[in-house]
A and B are shown apart, each in its own frame.
Chain A
């Protein structure tokens, strides 16, 4: 699969603060790519450089084979960006905002009306087109933000913590539309998020800490590498759990036993069948991966 984004040996410092240090990664076309890290880890700096908004100190950025240094304007047409906070013009209506932004990509007249109609249907914007953006609810505004980012049918959608502060229903709706578009149009999605359940759905995850990559891989690979499995035991007593001779902790309805991997869990079941009357086995979560990799807990959501 060909690369949509290729970043090699990227450096960026703010004075003595090294925001990004020798960062290299790639994002494959059509992939859902998640960029995880605490505030100040270097996520926004990397995105700003990718989008041509910030000068890099060194390194190479290629978007769909186009070098950012050689043709920043061409690179910009490939990207659609949803910012962490809505940056549309609050005094203007949704229609006026989208019309202005579409014109920046040469989408005017009938082409704009046609695209607007498609996006209105997709994001249910018809009802709010004539309303000022400043008077929309958080969820409505976010839908407009995503529609704005998709106006020019970008091949890469960059989402900078797109669902922070949204209610679960709106978050689900926004994700459902993005996923649908990604699959239908083979659009690459570059995501930074605090929500672990969003990162867990990604095809590839990069964990950034202090401007460097701490770990990367598919979620399942990361889970297998950095966390073990967990056996949840219900309707049992502590003595039986202790007899397994594995680390455990009490949870609301029972106990959680840590094991290295699924093979070890299977061996325990075979050895102590009387303990395993009501149980389930799960992989470690992305929270556990993040904690294991960085030694820090990512605040914002759980898997």
Chain B
């Protein structure tokens, strides 16, 4: 990208971020979504997760209730982040469609702006907006963990932050590809509803993938979001598992818990290593961003293509 394009891109990113924060309805909805999710998880899922862990752990080993609270808290936090890092960018990417609805996109493209510059400006702005909201959600989740049972190390927190960054990049790339094709508010609402309702199940945030059938487990392993959820879960629960190990819990019990909570993901019976999860996630981000930019360039060229047939 040339210097002038960078300057234009920077200006558009600033404009897009300003639009997000000045549109109070969109900003507030995005900010409130993770809070509502956390409240819903705690209200409706806490007891389910707790009883699952209590049944799975031998009573003789359970001398400290806070271990189970740490497990449940870690699972809730990872579920919350797995969902919000994708749904929030969808919400933040609203303005890409709104620009088409209001005609602002017309005003932007009437200027000598290259299509890839405009596409990247939307992407980067949505990443910034999504990161701000998702890091707020992470902070809230960490405060919640500190209240009910803190087992995280500084490294775990850093890895969680890294997961959030990668997942926001992924969620933004995914939403950009979807929103690219949308032109009306109605389409956007429909897609938003489907993603909000379905994504949590697909990535294993609501129900552990381990509880699904083998066929479904293998199918979901193709979806990068599932790998992101597993990474989050690993890092949110790593402290509790270390504590269990130091308290003398048998490795079989810990492995079983890791399987149960999707910290261990399997494809066709083979375990998927964390490095492979990162590769799948980062690779999918690169592929989707490239596809999104190329689609923008292609559409623009289609608009301006030479037509000397008449």
Report A's interface with B, CB cutoff 8 A.
9, 11, 51-59, 68-69, 72-74, 76-77, 79, 81, 83, 85, 87-92, 96, 99-101, 103-106, 108, 132, 148
Output the least CB separation between A48 and chain B (Å). Answer: 9
Query: Which among A54, A55, A100, A106 has the greatest number of chain B C-beta atoms within 10 A?
Result: A100
**With contacts A69-B306, A90-B102, A104-B113 known, what are 17 further pairs, Cβ within 8 A?**
A51-B110, A55-B303, A56-B307, A59-B310, A68-B304, A76-B110, A76-B111, A79-B110, A83-B103, A87-B102, A87-B103, A87-B106, A89-B15, A89-B19, A104-B12, A104-B111, A105-B112
Main secondary structure on chain B at its contact with chain A? helix
CB nearest neighbor in B for A96:
B18
The complex places the Cα of A246 from the Cα of B38 at a distance, in Å, of: 86
CB–CB A103/B112 < 8 A: no
Output the least CB separation between B113 and chain A (Å). Answer: 5
CB–CB A92/B15 < 8 A: yes
Q: Does B104 contact A (CB under 8 A)?
A: yes
The complex places the Cα of A111 from the Cα of B104 at a distance, in Å, of: 24
CB nearest neighbor in A for B98:
A89
CB–CB B109/A53 < 8 A: yes
CB–CB A91/B8 < 8 A: no
Q: Mark B285-310, 1 if CB is under 8 A from A, else 0.
A: 00000000000000000111111111
The complex places the Cα of A108 from the Cα of B23 at a distance, in Å, of: 25
The complex places the Cα of A52 from the Cα of B110 at a distance, in Å, of: 7
CB–CB A92/B7 < 8 A: no
The complex places the Cα of A298 from the Cα of B308 at a distance, in Å, of: 34
CB nearest neighbor in A for B304:
A72
User: A103's contact among B7, B106, B302, by CB below 8 Å, is which?
Assistant: B7
CB–CB B110/A53 < 8 A: yes
CB–CB B106/A53 < 8 A: yes
Q: Mark B1-15, 1 if CB is under 8 A from A, else 0.
A: 000100110111011
- What B residues does A148 contact at CB under 8 A? 107
Q: Does B143 contact A (CB under 8 A)?
A: no
CB–CB B107/A53 < 8 A: no
Q: Mark B75-119, 1 if CB is under 8 A from A, else 0.
A: 000000000000000000000000000111011111111100000
